[in-house]
Amino acid sequence: MSDTTCLARLLSSAVHDLRNVLAVVRESSGLTADLLRLQEDVRKRDRMLAALSEVQAQVARGALLASAMDLLAQAGSAAEEGTEEEGCDLNQVCQLFCCMAQRLARASVMRLEHVAKDDQDIALGVPAVLAALLKVLDAAAGAGGRVTLRLSAAVRHKQAGVIVEIVDGDNAEAVSAALEPLLVRISGGLQKLLVWRRQGPLFFLPLAEERTS
Amino acid sequence: MALQILLADDEKDFVDTLAERLRIRDFSVRVVYNGLDAVAAVKESRPAVVILDLFMPGLPGDETLRQITALYHDLPIILLTGQAGVEESFASEELANCACLTKPVALSQLLEQIESMLQGKAGGDRHV
């Protein structure tokens, strides 16, 4: 068994248990809320219900992280099996990255946002895409951070990659300069094709040829 | 008459609490903690819906599912598990009356799925 398979199997097993933990927390807090709603004369009832609602919100946050870890575990297993051509859904991996790297981003007063798009299969494995995105994050952090990076899977000149938009920051200029050597700056026509409201400098991270099915 | 639900899951803390929440909502719930008891419970009395974990001790979950569908091929079954992507382990015909949900699921989503299956609609995120 390779190291990758070992890590993937253990991660998958741990995520399964983590989901069970989240399920118990969700049902127990949900039951407490149900019982509180049945009793109107409980002191500070509304405050307790609000606190339980926050528990539910945190469970949803944990579930999102669990889904991201599931994808990592599957990527590890697929890499070992070698039965399928290497590839991934770029949109899904961008979402995974934003979820898993949020803590790293916060350390540099940054935020990561993902713009949901349709599935986009590319001929590149999950680890390679994550490594490329992490390099972008590190470069932005190295330039002082304090920006929001908005990521979106896209195709440019028949090449699949990720649009990186710098938004909501007082350090956008320095971060733009740091990303310039790594990414392709987008200007002009392509901006008109983008679905979200443009607020800051746009870059393209080229990754692989677009895969058509 | 209250709708009969069979809950089969070895995570006792989870399943007992979920059962209590469903009973508050006027469902009639029977709880079992392994696959053999799930098959026996279905043989004893056909429920309206089965909510089944796939990773329980004793009878493997896939075999539990096969034995239950062999008894009642049209019995709605919700596979509720902590393992993502379980539907890939089955042939599509084995999941003809199944929906797959991943824990932790919101009770509102579970109730919508039950209603949707009882109405014979292809509802839910991952109805297969």
Strands B77-81 vs B98-102: parallel, antiparallel or unpaired: parallel
Q: Among B21, B83, B102, select the one facing A27 at the smallest CB separation.
A: B21
Tens-place pLDDT, residues B66-106: 999 999 999 999 999 888 777 777 777 777 889 999 999 99
Counting one residue from chain A and one from chain B, the pairs whose CB atoms sit within 8 A come to 60
Q: Which of A24, A28, A53 to substitute to test the interface with B, most B CBs within 10 Å?
A: A24
CB B94 within 8 A of CB B69: yes
Q: What is the predicted ipTM?
A: 0.87
Interface of B to A at Cβ within 8 Å reads 11, 13-14, 17-18, 20-21, 24, 55, 82-85, 102-107
Residue tagged 């979106």 (tokens): A152
CB A194 within 8 A of CB A163: yes
CB contact under 8 A, A19 and B103: yes
**C-alpha pair distances (Å), B64 with each of B25, B28, B60, B70, B93:** 27, 22, 6, 10, 16
- In angstroms, the separation between the Cα of residue A205 and the nearest Cα of chain B is 30
The angle formed by the CA atoms of residues A195, A197 and A203, to the nearest 5 degrees, is 75
Q: Which is nearest to A165 in space by CA: A191, A135, A139, A131? A: A191
**Beta bridge partners of residue A184, listed in sequence order:** A204
What are the counts of helices (DSSP H) followed by strands (DSSP E) for chain B?
Answer: 4, 5
Q: Confidence class of residue A75 from pLDDT cuts 50, 70 and 90?
A: confident
CB contact under 8 A, A22 and B103: yes
Token pair, residue A106, equals 């916060």
Q: Which of A9, A27, A71, A92 to substitute to test the interface with B, most B CBs within 10 Å?
A: A27
Q: Among B21, B83, B104, select the one facing A22 at the smallest CB separation.
A: B104
Q: Confidence class of residue A116 from pLDDT cuts 50, 70 and 90?
A: confident
Task: Look at A64-68, B19-23, B59-63 and tell me which has the smallest mean pLDDT.
Answer: B59-63
Which domains are assigned to chain B? 4-118 (3.40.50.2300)
Looking at residues B26-43, what average pLDDT do you find? Answer: 96
Number of C-beta neighbours around residue A37 at 10 A: 12
In chain B, alpha helices (H): 12-24, 35-44, 61-71, 107-118
DSSP assignment, residue A83?
-
A145/A173 Cα distance (integer angstroms): 11
Q: Among B14, B20, B21, select the one facing A24 at the smallest CB separation.
A: B14
pLDDT at A82 (0 to 100): 55
Sorted by sequence, the CB contacts under 8 Å of residue A143 that are 6+ apart come out as: A171, A174, A175, A177, A178, A179
Q: Which is nearest to A96 in space by CA: A144, A134, A46? A: A134
Interface of A to B at Cβ within 8 Å reads 12, 15-20, 22-28, 30-31, 34, 38, 56, 59, 62-63, 67, 70, 74
Q: Confidence class of residue B123 from pLDDT cuts 50, 70 and 90?
A: very low
pLDDT at B94 (0 to 100): 75
Token pair, residue B62, equals 């896939």
CB A143 within 8 A of CB A123: no
Torsion sign (Cα): B21, B22, B26, B30: negative
Torsion sign (Cα): B31, A27, B65, B98: positive
User: Which chain B residues have a beta carbon less than 8 Å from that of A78?
Assistant: none
DSSP assignment, residue B127?
B
The angle formed by the CA atoms of residues A77, A72 and A119, to the nearest 5 degrees, is 100
CB contact under 8 A, B11 and A26: no
Judged against a pLDDT cut of 60, whether residue A206 lies above it is answered with yes
CB contact under 8 A, A27 and B106: no
H-helix or E-strand spanning residue A184: strand A184-186
CB A33 within 8 A of CB A105: no
B106-110: Cβ within 8 A, 24+ apart: B106/A26, B106/A56, B107/A27, B107/A30, B107/B18, B107/B21, B110/B51, B110/B78, B110/B80
pLDDT at A212 (0 to 100): 60
Three-class DSSP category at B85: coil
